[in-house]
Chain A
């Protein structure tokens, strides 16, 4: 499917989260790790990366957004045409976790349920002694809203690649599901239903 016409299918991924939670570091770490990808020469706000998942591959287009509070009201402009969103919070800041929930509400206002793959990411596990948000809290919130969930450390490069591969896998699965439905001639379009069952937790 994606490879049928040569170039892998592009997917747009928006990085959301308040300032200083490590959105950019997460993306930069991910893109840097892959020696095949071309490093951005000047800015690290927009990246593209081809994710190879064995059977198929896809092209992730990562859009970084400004996280400062004052830009919150205009950030919905970034959402247009997005396929996935990464909600990043800092595990040492309760406030950033609450902000992430706000972002989710914004996303839900903009998209019908299930249209975008959303993943909640608790960053900075290297600072776990200052932790303010427990793993369980994050997981529970993710489950109740059918989000993917992981905790990472961009600094120590812990589980960063896994975040993006999990996201890519979910994206591909949804495309395949849609295609299968289309092939079956399923006229009762159920494309907009949320992901099946509870969210898969990839952290443990």
Chain B
């Protein structure tokens, strides 16, 4: 009962979930209640409007300026002010970048930057794309702080990064593969430049590259993660549906060497699931990889506790598959694609993170291809489980219970009990019926036997033998007399 009322508490009307524009797709709060497509149109319109307004403002300013120029020469001051306002708007983007670099790296250019800062403060930023989140700001600050420790190299890297981000801004309409290629090229160029020109030690290059990746990917994330131009979203939904349909797969079917009845192990399994789900919340590919690695470490621990020896790949992959099936991590395909496209490639093909990532790719590929044979089931059983007609868990309630809450466990116990009772009742009913039949058969049998006997020896009542009775016919009434009155016959 309480469950029902709870459900009512969070009930959301279907119409509230749908796109505000009424196109029939689901909306998303992140897109102001629109679906991705309508939001894009809406957003595009807003941007167009913004550009339009900017142009109008520019034209108006120009007109004013001309008028002012025409009317008199002594309003020079006001004119230059309006003009500078227009100029400032146009160059805002550029100056801000340059000045921040200068601001952070050199103390001498203070005067210049101060002026630019005032300009920046005056410039309103109403357009949507200038809304930078707190996280982006924090990452930018950290990045600059970090690069400061590398002096000249840092400055160089910062400049390259800024240029790259600007270039990417104009490449937003390119296909995601091209954008990915640009990013990979950028990683390679920066690395090479540091190694050959800056003569930076490899470990330090790696460190810098990690920060570069963090900085650019935090900024690019919203444009390149699960972009509308690809079918990533469709693939996400497909794998999600597939995993849901496979909810009945037990650890035994996959030969998962993990015994969840050990509390420590089940704890590790829960942690591994949490880690793999957490992957979606990270923006930087490297942070996503770190989640996979953390998840893998927990899996290794779980196997080690169960088997009492370190796990090999033969144990690890099935367990990872099981964890993915149990966790059903959100936007799994998008995340994998995003990491593949935008992570520093050296990290994916080699290294421990790369190893675990490859295993995750294998797990997903396996789940996609999974069939009756790979679970050692007959095709009929597999089809029946897939269609939801039956669940193997009903028979194996013991092995299923560890992960369930108490209520569910109780329910399964009760179900078990009920089915047992049902069986017993049926048995009793059957026996009762049999008994009834036996009884009927028995009476019938007896009746038949009697009939037979009666038929065989029909009852014939013979007339009394007169001659025999005639011996003492005069005493016919004697039998009716009480004994003392019976006449005594003496032969002699």
Q: Is A105 positioned at the interface, with any CB of B under 8 Å from its CB?
A: no
Distance in angstroms between the alpha carbons of A81 and B318 in the assembled complex:
23
Dominant SS among interface residues on chain B = helix
Give min CB distance, A96 to chain B, whole Å: 14
Query: How many A-B contacts if CB must be within 8 Å?
Result: 91
Question: From residue B228, how far is it (CB to closest CB) to chain A in Å?
Answer: 27
Tell me the chain B residues, 292-342 only, with Cβ under 8 Å from chain A: 296-297, 300-301, 303-304, 310-314, 316-318
B317–A42 contact, CB under 8 A?
Answer: no
Asked if B314 contacts A7 (CB within 8 A), the reply is no
Question: Would you call A73 and B313 a contact (CB within 8 A)?
Answer: no
Q: Does A46 contact B (CB under 8 A)?
A: yes
8 Å CB interface, A1-32 against B: 5-7, 10, 12, 15, 19, 23-24, 28
List, in ascending order, chain A residues with CB within 8 A of B203's CB. Answer: 7
A68-92 at interface with B (beta carbon < 8 Å): 68, 70-71, 73-75, 77-78, 80-81
In the bound assembly, the distance between CA atoms of A77 and B364 in angstroms comes to 11
A43 within 8 A of partner (CB): yes
Per the 8 Å Cβ criterion, residues 53-76 of A in contact with B are 61, 63-68, 70-71, 73-75
- In this complex, the interface size class of chain A, counting residues with CB under 8 Å from chain B, is 20 to 34
Distance in Å: Cβ of A32 to nearest Cβ of chain B: 11
Interface contact A63-B310, CB-CB below 8 Å: no
Bound-state Cα–Cα, A65 to B358, Å? 10
Report the interface size for chain B: residues with CB under 8 A from the other chain.
Answer: 34
Asked if A42 meets B313 with Cβ closer than 8 Å, knowing A5-B202, A63-B355, A71-B366, the reply is no
**B365, CB-defined interface residue at 8 Å:** yes
B355 touches A46 (CB 8 A): yes
From the candidates A19, A46, A80, name the one contacting B352 in the complex (CB within 8 A). A46
Q: Please name the residue on chain A nearest to B297 by beta carbon.
A: A42
Q: How far is the CB of A5 from chain B (nearest CB, A)?
A: 6
Partner of B369, one of A42, A74, A81: A74
A74 adjacent to B311 (CB under 8 Å): no
Answer whether residue A51 sits at the interface, using C-beta atoms and an 8 A cutoff.
no
Query: Is the CB of B124 closer than 8 A to any CB of chain A?
Result: no
> Which residues of B233-258 are within 8 A (CB) of A?
255
Q: List 7 A-B contacts (CB under 8 A).
A: A6-B202, A43-B312, A45-B355, A65-B313, A71-B362, A71-B366, A78-B358
Which 10 pairs across A and B sit closest by C-beta, in order of nearness?
Answer: A81-B349, A24-B312, A43-B300, A64-B313, A42-B300, A66-B317, A70-B374, A45-B313, A74-B365, A46-B355
Known contacts A24-B312, A66-B318, A77-B365, then 19 further A-B pairs from the complex at CB < 8 Å, ordered by chain A residue: A5-B201, A6-B202, A12-B349, A28-B312, A40-B310, A42-B310, A42-B311, A44-B312, A64-B312, A65-B313, A66-B313, A66-B317, A68-B314, A70-B366, A70-B373, A71-B362, A73-B369, A77-B362, A78-B358
